[in-house]
Amino acid sequence: MFHPSLRALSPVIPRNLFNVVVCGGGIVGAASLASLQQLRSRFLSEISREDSTAAHSVYASRLSQLLLVDSVPRPQYDAQNVMHTLRTVSLTPVSSKLLDNLGCWRRLQTKHPYYRIALRHEQTNSPLFPKQNRPVSYFMSYLLGGNEATAEPLLEFTDLNRPLGFVSYNAEINTELINVIEDHQKLNDANVAKDRIVFGSTMASVSLPPQDVVDGALGGAVLRSTSGEDLLNFSLLLGCDGRGSSLRELLATGAVQHDYAQTAYVCTVRLERMDDGNSCCFQNFFLNGDVIAMLPLSEDSANIIFSTTAARARELMAASQSDLVSELNGRLHAFAPKDIPRILGVHEGTVNGKQVRGQGTFPLRLNFVLRPYSPRCLLLGDAAHGIHPFAGQGLNLGLYDVCALIEVLEKAIRYGQDIGGVCAVGQPFASEMMLHTSSMITVMEGIYTALNAAPSLSCAGMKVLQGLPLVSSFGKQCITNFSSGGLFARRHSDCFLLL
């Protein structure tokens, strides 16, 4: 999306001056703009009629012109399009609260709750292992039929009182966030704001002040569209342009990177109905490093995320319907026939006049930038940090970035500080981002590495956590609180997006 340039800022008076420019119209980018609109409305709502004029100049005017740019067409979710229902996300209760406060959550048709997470490992649960070498314990063996019952999960988390999380479609969330932005502008800010949303356009010749400048001049760029070019300037640029972020390259910031040598194969499947209403997330680990997850979407459908080698992913893409279903059932249902639903088929449909199967692949890499800011610029979401999907935390961390940013920006605006300044916004935001991303990535990377490098020891540890009552109760509570965003929510309890 970006074409880096080291040229000096143009002395020509810009035709377009924006307070904040958001590069990237995905979920994190759209959530960022929607949150900025909410912050602006918050400022306006706090002002009495006598002070309204001053309010516009002191608070709301600092966010009076916002711009969102993306090179792709505007997202338009179609529930009948199998490619639109391909990518899903597991949202924590904290993320769902944020989306609810933005006005997006109530618009979603698919937000399937799950109350249980069950983990299994090939070494302890695989049906291919000799029966005498398998564990003698079975999950709910009495209720499910004694020795023929489902093999007990190596580790599970359950909360029957409230969901551990929700599974939704990426495309639907993205579309509804854009709808929220457009509706908010029409209903609330038509007289005080001049926001723009531009899809199908790119930003080129992006110019930022030097790294060693605390604040510096405004940033600049050229907005290219089919109708021509526009010069624009900005106080703050938010890089929400994903894992392949060109803006990250422009910042030339250091990063921790690791290639997992894996590819994620994803598809949406039809399931045989279970008595629990399909309210469990299943995840199975394998000795060769493969990981497969089943995320419930409804009572009879789920999304599959299978992390494997690139070669195996290509084979799955080319496999027949029957062979693919057999392979997936062998990796999931066979481990626990009375717990994990049987897969009946992979969704297929017509797209652009062609019959296609709802499936896809994407490479897996760890990426974590060490300095997600520069004068006039911040990186958010996957542009700043990418993590293995087995953790189910990628988008959640991006939404936490948005929440942390809005809290920092609100303080900066109230104190009359430069919203693009390194000291006022860049460094405080980076500190908050590091707190919630580095801890999550460190823990999840440790678990993933241990399961691959020392599976026996890892399985033994999970057995202890599952089996000892006091250890299990306290340990699981700590893990659930951490992974569900509870610690983040407490730290940012004053942020209006989480109230």
Each residue's pLDDT tens digit, 289-334:
899 999 999 999 999 999 999 999 999 999 999 999 999 999 999 9
Each residue's pLDDT tens digit, 252-282:
888 888 888 999 999 999 999 988 889 999 9
Strand partners for 69 = 23, 198
Given a cut of 60, is residue 49 above it in pLDDT?
no
CATH of domain 2-77+92-106+169-254+370-498: 3.50.50.60
Contact 235, 109 (CB under 8 A): no
Given a cut of 60, is residue 443 above it in pLDDT?
yes
β 291-298/219-225 pair status:
unpaired
Nearest to 16 by CA among 225, 246, 242: 225
Q: What was the pLDDT predicted at 192?
A: 59
Percentage of residues of the chain with pLDDT beyond 70:
85
Contact 390, 295 (CB under 8 A): no
Q: What was the pLDDT predicted at 201?
A: 94
Positive or negative: CA dihedral 454, 459, 460, 465 = positive
Given a cut of 50, is residue 139 above it in pLDDT?
no
Q: Could you tell me the CATH superfamily of domain 116-158+259-363?
A: D-Amino Acid Oxidase, subunit A, domain 2 (3.30.9.10)
> What is the average pLDDT across 464-485?
74
Name the helix (H) or strand (E) containing 119: strand 116-121
Given a cut of 60, is residue 358 above it in pLDDT?
yes
Nearest to 422 by CA among 375, 384, 466, 383: 375
Given a cut of 50, is residue 7 above it in pLDDT?
no
> What is the average pLDDT across 208-237?
89
Given a cut of 80, is residue 336 above it in pLDDT?
yes
> What is the average pLDDT across 369-396?
91
Q: What was the pLDDT predicted at 472?
A: 61
Residues 6+ apart with CB under 8 A from 393: 387, 440, 444, 483
Range in 144-153, 177-186, 426-435 with the lowest mean pLDDT: 144-153
> What is the average pLDDT across 179-203?
83
Rounded to whole angstroms, how far apart are CA atoms 430 and 437?
10
Q: pLDDT category, 469, cuts 50, 70, 90?
A: low
Positive or negative: CA dihedral 413, 418, 421, 423 = negative
Residue 140 CA, distance from chain mean position = 34
Q: pLDDT category, 197, cuts 50, 70, 90?
A: very high
Domain residue extents for the chain: 2-77+92-106+169-254+370-498, 116-158+259-363
Each residue's pLDDT tens digit, 416-438:
999 999 999 999 999 999 999 98
What are the distances in angstroms from CA 128 to CA 88, 132, 135, 463?
Answer: 30, 11, 13, 20
Phi-psi region of 491 (alpha: psi -120 to 50; beta: other; left: phi over 0): alpha
The more confident residue out of 406 and 387 is 406
Q: What was the pLDDT predicted at 333?
A: 94
Burial of 354 (0-12, 13-18, 19+ CB in 10 A): exposed
Contact 181, 37 (CB under 8 A): yes
> In this structure, what token pair is assigned to residue 180?
């929220």
Q: pLDDT category, 389, cuts 50, 70, 90?
A: confident
Identical fold for domains 2-77+92-106+169-254+370-498 and 116-158+259-363, yes or no, is: no
Backbone angles phi, psi at 67, to 5 degrees: -135, 135
